[in-house]
């Protein structure tokens, strides 16, 4: 059976420039695509082997993070990281807002969760 290697969530964002700035400046991602040239509304950002797609549609189509629709839906994305402690420290130093502080969860994950600028919740962690 072919091996799956990667997944890239696509988040609808309110303002593409603000979102790209957040992921680049606060989370350390780089912009690998921004387009179209004359009026960008779509971006792909990456850090190591993780990619996230960001798309601004119209002012009527707003971000819909899971927790805003269902309080029990904790995360919008989970990113495996081999050293969640070091990454949490990096993000703390950059002033990133944490939704869940670094720790060991009841479901066997060592990690933490952050809010992005559109209130999407991203968990960074690894199995304990």
Find the CATH number of the domain harbouring 123.
3.30.720.110
Written as six digits, the tokens of 127 are: 């199995």
In a domain, 1, yes or no: no
- The verdict on 82 and 123 lying in the same domain is yes
In a domain, 63, yes or no: no
CB count within 10 Å of CB 125 equals: 25
- Indicate yes or no: pTM above 0.85: yes
CB 125 within 8 Å of CB 84: yes
pLDDT, one tens digit per residue, over 66-125 is 898 888 888 999 999 999 999 999 999 999 999 999 999 988 999 999 999 999 999 999
Give percent of the chain above pLDDT 90. Answer: 85
DSSP-derived letter for residue 61 is S
Task: Determine the pLDDT at residue 66.
Answer: 87
Distances (CA, A) of 55 to 9, 20, 97: 11, 10, 22
- The verdict on 81 and 128 lying in the same domain is yes
């Amino acid at each position: 059976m072919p091996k799956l290697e990667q997944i890239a969530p696509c988040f609808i964002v309110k303002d593409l420039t603000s979102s790209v700035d957040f992921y680049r400046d606060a989370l350390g991602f780089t912009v690998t695509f921004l387009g179209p040239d004359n009026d960008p509304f779509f971006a792909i950002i990456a850090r190591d082997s993780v990619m996230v797609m960001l798309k601004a549609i119209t002012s009527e189509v707003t971000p819909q993070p899971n927790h805003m629709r269902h309080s029990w839906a904790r995360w919008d994305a989970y990113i495996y990281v081999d050293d969640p402690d070091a990454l949490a420290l990096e993000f703390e130093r950059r002033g990133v807002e944490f939704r869940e502080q670094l720790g060991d969860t009841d479901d066997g994950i060592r990690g933490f969760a952050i809010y992005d600028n559109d209130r999407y919740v991203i968990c960074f962690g690894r199995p304990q």
